[in-house]
Structure 1
Amino acid sequence: MTDYGHDLLFGAVLTPATGRPELALDLARVADRAGLDLVSVPDHPYRPEFTEALTTLSVIAARTERVRVFPNVANLPLRPPAMLARAVASLGALSGGRVDLALGAGAYWDAIAAEGGPWRAPAEAVAALGEAIAVIRALWTPGGPVHLPGKHYGLDGAEPAPPPGRPGIWVGALGPRMLRLTGALADGWLPSMTRIPPADLPAANAAVDAAAADAGRDPAAIRRLYNLSPPALGSPRGWPERLAELALTHGVSGFLLPAGSPGPLQLFATEIAPAVRELVAAARRLSAGRGPSPGPASSSPAT
């Protein structure tokens, strides 16, 4: 059993279609008003049917009041890390610190190359991501001009500009090398349920934890987030227990729901999230020896 003790976050994955650009913005406002914590959009710059991710997130941040926004996940090969660091810092300043950064090493290399980006072998892509994280952190750290050598990315006298709100750097990691990088360098791990199902979480978590310990870091400091798959979760009536189990057994503390209409977001925010929080809080109190909370442990949301 692995509960890293983080506060629970609930959010949305929205698809910003160029044919209906207002839909994602409207859904972001629904998520914001319903009480969700996070709103994310996928980043596929080579797909013209999607609006550009950082531009979309900027408009979402301008039209919401409380949710934090982030790309899910930023396509590093098409986004130089220094400019990505500046963009996130600017969005943080404009939004009152409501921004995080999730990064990927890259995929769909044919499409990336068609856009003029590099074609990287797996080991090279992981190395480039490690250098990119170092560049971003350096530009977000107060101090003088930064000199940072690197094979793929570096800095030679760049001036840092720390963003407000302390954005997290979360990594979308699947393979062993990426999991080790996440444990060594990242603030959080963001897999997708469709790629790493719950049965595979223990081994992947162990890889992240081992890499963190080898790097002298506390494994519990690394937040675990999860892009959910509603078909894999079954009926929403059972979601509170399933998500609470993911939190208490696998340490997941951020749950991202893909949604294309208001109803699922409202249900997730107003019924499922409170029930999960109650179940997890009760279990944590019991584990700490303070006994169960009074009253019912949860309420089942409507199907």
Structure 2
Amino acid sequence: MADYGHDLQFGTFLTPVAGAPHRVVELARLTEQSGLDLVTVQDHPYQARFLDTWTLLSVIAATTTSVRVSPNVANLPLRPPVVLARSAATLDLLSGGRVELGLGAGAFHDAIASVGGPRLSPSQAVDALAEGIEVIRGIWDADGGQVRVDGTHHVVPGAQPGPRPAHPIGIWLGAYKRRMLELTGRAADGWLPSSPYVPPEGLTAMNAAIDDAALAAGRAPADIRRLYNVSGSFSGSGDGFLAGGPAVWAEQLAELALDEGISGFILIGDDGEAIRRFAGEVVPAVRELVDAERHSPASSTGIAPTGAATPAQDREPVEVARGAAQAAGLQVAPTPDEGTRLSATAAWDETTRPVGPARDPRRTYTPHEQAAGRHLIDVHDGLRSELAQVRELVTQVSAGQMDPGTARSHINTMTMRQNDWTIGAYCEAYCRVVTTHHTLEDQSLFPHLRRSDPRLRPVIDRLEDEHHVIHDILERVDRALVAMISGEDDGKALHAEIDLLTDALLSHLAYEERELVEPIARLGLR
């Protein structure tokens, strides 16, 4: 088949269990903290044990900062297309363009009928989905005039279009049978099957059906992104699909990307440790293998041109691609501490910080090993960026330069968003992000590094001590926020605490990168 050249994306597929309503939100936050791209949630409105998917996705979008959200997949028979289109566009606007629309025809017809939905045959359900896609695209086309669809299952005699989404929302179809695959090639932006229903050996024929339908409709096969919900285990001999260590996963997923054009891999399950391992050990390795093959000297163009296929027999195997990713010296540069301090108070004595073992100048690192250190810096850069936004918001609101309505509009363009558009909610959310990041390090990364290289113990102990200090500062920020919002303080105490938080956090992040980027590259993220 083909590598369509799409950028790789990785995410999670979570269960909206109503008995533990906050658990799925925490897993969504973990998805983002782990550096993944996408959080998806199954949608079964007739299931009383599940939370409502759209309400849940709204909460997830409001309590995360960068990860995208999507139903996996939305049940169209129970979600009228006009309402669904406006819901998706609204959430996309409020989240800054972080919504995609996984969409399905609805497979459990008795369950749908039991809650008042239409009882459709499989053939009728496909027809209804095709009509629904036409309605949804019409509503999103704010300049297209009244939406008029005279279908068998969906009749819209003259709806006003809008609102326009913040970005072109992708419609990804959960499709398995011939007519659904043809609809995907003809009218969708993506294909979203699941490995429990379609094992890897079944992808080739289904991909071909989508490609044929796309070409018949005058589209390029590369216009349709291919995503894959996958499940597996990190135990096993590696004989089956995703039944082995992270290296087995990486090899198999990279092969699917290169041979079947799969560019999105979404982990099915609610195991936090599996999410961490997937994000920290599998994803960087898959990216390395695919990137090495796409830029292999065997290909003059690097990747397949849009709409063109590179036959598998004309490419080097993944094992050769791995060899093409030559080891080199450490090229990941820790963020330096510029030394600027805003507060007259020092959070700690920086001169007493331990230093880890000296780097072996002869040691080389593969791109996969270096990606692990790069991931730490990327997460830290997100914290730095959000801190700068917190500082700006505090300054403008407390100085009276921004009224609450303007603040709401301003925050809507920022990375982090909350349902409660107040300075308190925004700062509180940032405090939670920092605390969650430190908790993940304390419970997973630091014990691994301490066990793997005892010489790092003094550094790890110091970093953990600084986590406690930063936690205390965050609590003081919270108390200062309460005092300012209640009118007990004019904001001076809040500014002082924010200055101290800025000094402490930026200093801490720089120290952590200086001491851990190389050990993480050498020892991994387990």
> Cα deviation per residue 1:74-116 (whole Å; 9 max; x = unaligned)?
0111111110001001111111111000111111111100000
Higher relative contact order (CA 8 A, sep 6+): 1
Contact 1:282 1:297 in 2 (8 A): no
Is there any run of 5+ residues in structure 1 with no aligned partner, and where? none
CA distance in 2, matches of 1:196, 1:16: 23
* Alignment-derived partner of residue 284 in structure 1: 294
Contact 2:142 2:161 in 1 (8 A): yes
Say which SS state the counterpart of residue 18 (structure 1) adopts: coil
Q: Give runs of ≥4 in structure 1 deviating > 3 Å.
A: 289-294, 296-303
* Alignment-derived partner of residue 261 in structure 1: 271
Is there any run of 5+ residues in structure 2 with no aligned partner, and where? 234-240, 303-320, 328-365, 370-522
Give yes or no for the alignment of 1:178 onto 2:180: yes
Give yes or no for the alignment of 1:294 onto 2:295: no
CA distance in 1, matches of 2:256, 2:155: 38
Q: 1:121 to 1:301 in 2, by over 3 A?
A: farther
Deviation at 1:221, TM superposition (A): 1.3
Say which SS state the counterpart of residue 44 (structure 1) adopts: coil
Say which SS state the counterpart of residue 11 (structure 2) adopts: strand
Say which SS state the counterpart of residue 256 (structure 1) adopts: strand
> How many pairs align?
303
* Alignment-derived partner of residue 33 in structure 1: 33
* Alignment-derived partner of residue 149 in structure 2: 148
**TM-score computed with the length of structure 2 as normaliser:** 0.56
**Larger relative helix fraction:** 2
* Alignment-derived partner of residue 19 in structure 1: 19
Q: Which has the larger radius of gyration?
A: 2
Deviation at 1:154, TM superposition (A): 3.1
What pairs up with 1:49-198 in 2 under 5 angstroms? 49-143=49-143, 144-161=145-162, 162-198=164-200
* Alignment-derived partner of residue 331 in structure 2: none
**Larger relative strand fraction:** 1
Contact 1:173 1:182 in 2 (8 A): yes
Say which SS state the counterpart of residue 226 (structure 1) adopts: strand
Aligned counterpart for 1:221 among listed residues 209, 220, 223: 223
Q: Percent identity?
A: 52
Give yes or no for the alignment of 1:275 onto 2:275: no
Q: 1:256 to 1:114 in 2, by over 3 A?
A: same
**TM-score computed with the length of structure 1 as normaliser:** 0.96
Contact 1:272 1:301 in 2 (8 A): no
> Cα deviation per residue 1:161-214 (whole Å; 9 max; x = unaligned)?
111121100000000110001000000000000111110111000000000000
CA distance in 2, matches of 1:105, 1:272: 32
Deviation at 1:297, TM superposition (A): 6.0
Say which SS state the counterpart of residue 283 (structure 2) adopts: helix
Contact 1:279 1:297 in 2 (8 A): no
**Residue identity in the other structure for 2:166:** P
Say which SS state the counterpart of residue 264 (structure 1) adopts: helix
* Alignment-derived partner of residue 239 in structure 1: 249
* Alignment-derived partner of residue 464 in structure 2: none
